């Protein structure tokens, strides 16, 4: 099997350098060869996307919704081969990937529903008031419009839900933005299967050529070319801080700077308040599942636990240690991710300020690239003295920071960088005593959780999956849920235009029957 880059419907890619996918558990090459894209192909993909934008931006919500639902149907139609290939390329278990496929297709359907409901365009109408004093009011009408061609970088830890047909692609297409995907080199076979599904859906529903393309590359050249291409208007990325900031820098240095929405990592601290520890230390130790699930390779994995020293904390540590020691090792996504995990966690363990609470003794020696669970401990004073302890260790690792008192715990919290999530484990009756902590949490993270693990991100209307820098490059936007469509649009107002020349959403007699703010009142 040879897989070439998918550029529109009719473009014939060249035969360039080839690479293969690798099974991270066994270290062997997987079947199939993938042609790395070249600069000419990246240029062709972006030019086709720009050409498609002229049509796709105004193709109509009903047709776009049909396209998204067709993508979901085609992804499901792939069947078992999609799950099997994703398992082989990622090391993730079957049940996890079946759930991820469901999330992927449900996201597409969710955005289709959003399109048909219509209010996401945020139509606002202020009609003219000719006799207003001291000056007349002119007719002004505003709504959101798509930005243009989007480049989506596939994520390593979600080979479906944050990759080719994932949330970024679904939201961009819903907004009216053609998409060019830079497939992640760790799962090109999975990407190829989903890419073909999107192509089939586009052809079946009559979408313009160039509305979707996918390019393969096992290096960085094509990603850089896509970000720097003059037709690119927006970029999305989920990955490391280093990778995200490299893209942000490229985009800012263009002749026309463009937005890069990068999710770049988070330690997702969990604050264990005293009464909660006193009442349910053993129950809280079940956080071990959130720390180690899928080898700790979730962006919301809790990498920090924060508490004040007490007898109850000692009880928690004992229970957590027993749970961690009993966790089986798990295959990490790529050899590079495993090597980086071992380097960073090893560096923590080598520091004299750090002690080990527990390390798993259940290591699968029959497979390679194994993430071995470990939880460490450090005093708040030592934590505050060295910035390296705030760095994300991507994998099954967490650090317990022990403060002498509440005042020192507050110092630790105040020292933290921006996060995707922050969690408080507390009893309701003790929360009023800690408002000096809880009142500040919304400044620290995009999602503030009470008495629940941060892993497991609900895909819906109210979710915000984003946070202050450096967790993301722009804390105002989410990469999950219906609000993620806002990354791909901008507001435009029409002044003094007659009804027949306005977009349907802004006509006085609204043919789409969407909710609009009409002269300061919501109306259909």
* Strand ranges for 111-242 from DSSP E: 124-126, 140-146, 150-153, 179-182, 212-215, 234-238
Active-site residue identified among 299, 377, 392, 505: 299
Active-site residue identified among 41, 100, 209, 263: 263
**Residue of 170, 191, 197, 179 lying closest to 109 (CA atoms):** 170
Report residue 99 as tokens: 């759930």
Cα–Cα distance between 201 and 70 in angstroms, integer?
Answer: 5
Cα–Cα distance between 277 and 426 in angstroms, integer?
Answer: 8
Token match 């030019």: residue? 47
Q: Count how many residues are written for the chain.
A: 524
Cα–Cα distance between 460 and 167 in angstroms, integer?
Answer: 11
Q: How far is CA 171 from the centre of its chain?
A: 12
DSSP per residue, 185-226: TT-HHHHHHHHHHHHHHHHHTTPPTTSEEEE--SSSHHHHHH
Q: Is 335 exposed, middle or buried (0-12, 13-18, 19+ CB in 10 A)?
A: middle
Cα–Cα distance between 135 and 124 in angstroms, integer?
Answer: 21
Q: Three-state DSSP class for 317?
A: helix
278 is a catalytic site residue: no
Angle formed by the axes of helices 80-90 and 61-78, to 10°? 80
First to last CA, the chain: 53
Angle at 475 between CA 469 and CA 481, to 5 degrees: 130
**Which are the contacts of 30, defined by CB distance < 8 A and separation ≥ 6?**
20, 21, 22, 23, 85, 88, 89, 189
Token match 């998204």: residue? 68
Task: Identify whether the C-beta of residue 189 lies closer than 8 Å to the C-beta of residue 156.
Answer: no
Cα–Cα distance between 482 and 114 in angstroms, integer?
Answer: 7
263 is a catalytic site residue: yes
Strand order in the sheet with 304-308: 355-359, 374-379, 397-403, 304-308, 270-272, 419-425, 445-450
Q: Which residues are catalytic?
A: 263, 299
């Amino acid at each position: 099997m040879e897989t070439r880059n998918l550029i529109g419907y009719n473009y014939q890619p060249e035969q360039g350098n080839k690479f293969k996918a690798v099974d991270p558990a066994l270290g062997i090459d997987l079947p199939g060869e993938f042609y790395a894209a070249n600069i000419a192909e990246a240029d062709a993909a972006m030019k086709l996307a720009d050409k498609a934008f002229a049509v796709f931006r105004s193709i109509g919500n009903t047709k776009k919704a049909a396209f998204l639902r067709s993508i979901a149907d085609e992804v499901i139609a792939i069947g078992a081969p999609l799950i099997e290939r994703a398992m082989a390329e990622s090391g993730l278990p079957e049940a996890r990937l079946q759930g991820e496929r469901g999330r992927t297709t449900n996201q597409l359907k969710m955005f289709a529903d959003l399109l048909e409901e219509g209010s996401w365009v945020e139509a606002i109408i202020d009609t003219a008031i000719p006799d207003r004093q001291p000056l007349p009011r002119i007719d002004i009408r505003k709504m959101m419009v798509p930005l243009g061609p989007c480049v989506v970088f596939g994520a390593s830890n979600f080979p479906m839900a944050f990759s080719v047909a994932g949330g970024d692609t679904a939201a961009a297409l819903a907004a009216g933005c053609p998409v060019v995907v830079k497939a992640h080199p760790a799962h090109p076979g999975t990407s190829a299967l989903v890419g073909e599904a999107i192509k089939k859906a586009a052809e079946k529903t009559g979408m313009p050529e160039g509305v979707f393309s996918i390019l393969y590359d096992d290096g960085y050249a094509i990603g850089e070319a896509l970000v720097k291409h003059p037709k690119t208007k927006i970029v999305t990325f989920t990955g490391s801080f280093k990778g995200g900031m490299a893209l942000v820098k490229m985009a800012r240095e263009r002749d026309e700077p463009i937005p890069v929405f990068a999710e770049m990592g988070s330690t997702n601290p969990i604050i264990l308040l005293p009464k909660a520890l006193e009442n349910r230390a053993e129950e809280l130790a079940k956080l071990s599942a959130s720390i180690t699930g899928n080898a700790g390779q979730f962006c919301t994995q809790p990498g920090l636990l924060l508490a004040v020293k007490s007898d109850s904390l000692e009880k928690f540590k004992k229970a957590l240690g027993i749970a961690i020691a009993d966790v089986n090792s798990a295959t990490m996504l790529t050899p590079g991710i495993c090597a980086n995990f071992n380097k960073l966690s090893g560096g923590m363990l080598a520091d004299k300020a750090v002690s080990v609470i527990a390390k798993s003794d259940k290591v699968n020696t029959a497979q390679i690239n194994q993430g071995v669970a470990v939880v460490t401990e450090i005093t708040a004073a030592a934590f505050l003295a060295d910035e390296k302890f705030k760095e994300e260790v991507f994998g099954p690792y967490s650090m317990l920071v022990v403060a002498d008192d509440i005042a020192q715990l507050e110092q630790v919290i105040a020292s933290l960088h921006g996060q995707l999530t922050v969690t408080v484990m507390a009893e309701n009756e003790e929360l009023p005593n800690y408002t000096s902590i809880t009142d500040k949490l919304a400044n620290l993270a995009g999602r503030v959780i009470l008495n629940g693990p941060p892993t497991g991100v609900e895909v819906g209307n109210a979710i915000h999956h984003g946070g202050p820098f450096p967790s993301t490059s722009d804390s105002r936007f989410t990469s999950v849920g219906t609000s993620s469509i806002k990354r791909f649009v901008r507001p435009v107002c029409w002044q003094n235009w007659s009804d027949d020349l306005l977009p349907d959403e802004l006509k006085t007699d609204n043919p789409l029957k969407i909710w609009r703010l009409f002269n300061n009142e919501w109306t259909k």
